[in-house]
């Protein structure tokens, strides 16, 4: 193995004492491949197993915590105890390959397609439609209903209930999905949260719901397991909307999250070295630099975004980030980690071979979306 790669294959110990065998994580990616009833399919289980041998930790695609939180066709569910056997199949497949299994827990909020939720009623922090990329962008008559205060409390408990199911299904941890414009982010965003109660208003008040979810998840972990259980939190650094989350807002959120005794934070980025849009004085520093400076080693940060080659990974690790997630690259080449460990980094494939779906073990729904979305994956 190239000596320059040794650092990212050294073990890493999370704050709760869990040791990861290396610094490479599989990023959460929606795969659209579950049964309509929310149970996982054989194709989905095989897809994860194929990618779990090299990495230290696998973060699953997001799973919905309530029936009205289903954000994607073919998304698997964790909203009832009946889903525990289904959830366990995925956890077992990942762990059998030697990786830690992390269940990403989520609610889509105003981004949910109405046909996937009860009575077609989508909900959010406030009754403000999404501007970009949301269902209400395409369907002007669709407007989310503002959750009542008691419903917000129920939602917080739902995240806790799903955490308990993750524990019972054999997962090593959960990742709270506070990114990509979904419900938790909708409560933090000044665009989607126009509430006047304790869950809205100032930036600090808009943190109330995300922090309450963190507290509830941690409470459930303490109550239902005696062994270390990983709790992470994923966030997006900025929103394009005005008003919207700025880099400055996110640095305040991250500063607060760094005090919450979480096991890691996970930024959601398309490009690792992307620059901030607004909200910070120094716009010549990357978002990652700003985040690492603010966190100041208080909690591990997982970086991500267009890392394909070993050289890409080396450049990313040179920023000081302790952990790195690969998403699209592990679909393109599931043996990325093994090739580097065996000194074969020149054999890494960085462009999707459209003739190798079967060999790559990618379910049909995900493959069809990838191959019909030009520019999403290199080679497509």
Residue 74 lies in a domain: yes
CB contact at 8 A, 136 and 186: no
CATH of the domain at 196: 3.20.20.70
**Omega of the bond leading into 243 within 30 degrees of 0 (cis):** yes
Active-site entry in 48, 64, 182, 308 = 182
pTM value? 0.98
Mark whether 47 is an active-site residue.
no
| Radius of gyration, alpha carbons of the chain | 20
CB contact at 8 A, 83 and 38: yes
Determine the pLDDT at residue 125: 98
155: three-class secondary structure by DSSP:
helix
Q: At what angle do helices 149-168 and 84-96 cross, to 10 degrees?
A: 50
d(C-alpha 288, C-alpha 316), whole Å: 9
Task: For residue 244, give both structure tokens.
Answer: 């919207």
Picking from 98, 84, 90, the residue whose alpha carbon sits closest to that of residue 54 is: 98
d(C-alpha 181, C-alpha 320), whole Å: 27
d(C-alpha 210, C-alpha 187), whole Å: 7
d(C-alpha 150, C-alpha 148), whole Å: 5
CB contact at 8 A, 126 and 147: no
What residue numbers bound the domain in which 8 lies?
3-371
Picking from 130, 34, 46, 114, the residue whose alpha carbon sits closest to that of residue 79 is: 34
Determine the pLDDT at residue 141: 67
**CA 370 from centre of chain:** 19
Give me the number of domains the chain comprises: 1
Task: Name the maximum alpha-carbon separation found in the chain.
Answer: 58
CB contact at 8 A, 209 and 156: yes
What does each C-alpha distance from 195 to 124, 126, 132, 202, 375 come to in angstroms? 11, 6, 21, 10, 38
Residue keyed to tokens 């698997």: 76
Task: For residue 257, give both structure tokens.
Answer: 């999250």
Residue 378 lies in a domain: no
Determine the pLDDT at residue 6: 84
Q: What are phi and psi of 368, to 5 degrees?
A: -65, -40
Residue 68 lies in a domain: yes
Task: For residue 191, give both structure tokens.
Answer: 């665009």
pLDDT tens for the chain, residues 1 to 380: 677 788 889 999 999 999 999 999 999 999 999 999 999 999 999 999 999 999 999 999 999 999 999 999 999 999 999 999 999 999 999 999 999 999 999 999 999 999 999 999 999 999 999 986 665 556 666 899 999 999 999 999 999 999 999 999 999 999 999 999 999 999 999 999 999 999 999 999 999 999 999 999 999 999 999 999 999 999 999 999 999 999 999 999 999 999 999 999 999 999 999 999 999 999 899 999 999 999 999 999 999 999 999 999 999 999 999 999 999 999 999 999 999 999 999 999 999 999 999 999 999 999 999 999 999 999 99
What does each C-alpha distance from 122 to 126, 131, 144, 251, 274 come to in angstroms? 11, 15, 5, 29, 32
Helix or strand (DSSP H, E) at 341: helix 336-341
Picking from 38, 25, 156, the residue whose alpha carbon sits closest to that of residue 99 is: 25
Residue keyed to tokens 């079967």: 358
CB contact at 8 A, 55 and 21: no
Q: Count the alpha carbons within 13 Å of 13 in the hemisphere toward its beta carbon.
A: 3
Determine the pLDDT at residue 33: 98
Residue 376 lies in a domain: no
d(C-alpha 292, C-alpha 95), whole Å: 30
Determine the pLDDT at residue 5: 85
Residue 379 lies in a domain: no
């Amino acid at each position: 193995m190239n000596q320059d790669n040794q650092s990212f294959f050294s073990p890493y110990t999370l704050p709760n004492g869990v040791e990861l065998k290396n610094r490479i994580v599989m990023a959460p990616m929606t795969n659209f491949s579950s049964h309509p009833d929310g149970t996982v399919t054989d194709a989905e289980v095989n897809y994860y197993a194929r990618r779990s041998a090299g990495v230290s930790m696998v973060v699953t695609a997001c799973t919905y915590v309530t029936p009205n939180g289903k954000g994607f066709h073919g998304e698997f569910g964790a909203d009832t105890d009946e889903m525990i056997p289904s959830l366990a199949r995925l956890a077992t497949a990942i762990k059998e390959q030697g990786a830690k299994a992390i269940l990403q827990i989520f609610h889509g909020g105003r981004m949910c397609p109405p046909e996937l939720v009860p009575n077609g009623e989508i909900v959010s922090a406030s009754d403000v439609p999404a501007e970009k990329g949301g269902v209400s962008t395409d369907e002007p008559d669709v407007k989310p209903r503002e959750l009542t205060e008691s419903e917000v409390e129920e939602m917080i408990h739902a995240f806790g209930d799903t955490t308990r199911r993750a524990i019972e299904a054999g997962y090593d941890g959960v990742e709270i999905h506070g990114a990509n414009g979904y419900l938790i982010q909708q409560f933090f965003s000044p665009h989607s949260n126009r509430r006047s109660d304790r869950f809205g208003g100032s930036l600090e008040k808009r943190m109330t719901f995300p922090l309450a979810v963190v507290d509830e998840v941690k409470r459930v972990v303490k109550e239902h397991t005696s062994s270390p259980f990983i709790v992470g939190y994923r966030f997006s650094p900025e929103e394009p909307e005005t008003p919207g989350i700025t880099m400055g807002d996110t640095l305040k959120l991250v500063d607060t999250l760094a005090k919450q005794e979480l096991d890691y934070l996970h930024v959601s980025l398309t490009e690792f070295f992307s620059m901030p849009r607004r909200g910070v004085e120094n716009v010549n520093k990357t978002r990652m630099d700003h985040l690492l400076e603010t966190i100041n080693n208080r909690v591990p940060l997982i970086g991500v975004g267009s890392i394909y080659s070993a050289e890409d990974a080396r450049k990313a690790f040179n920023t000081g980030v302790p952990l790195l997630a690969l998403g699209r690259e592990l679909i393109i080449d599931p043996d990325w980690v093994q090739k580097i460990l065996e000194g074969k980094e020149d054999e890494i494939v960085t462009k999707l071979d459209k003739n190798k779906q079967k060999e790559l073990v990618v379910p049909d729904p995900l493959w069809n979306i990838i191959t019909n979305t030009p520019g999403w994956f290199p080679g497509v």
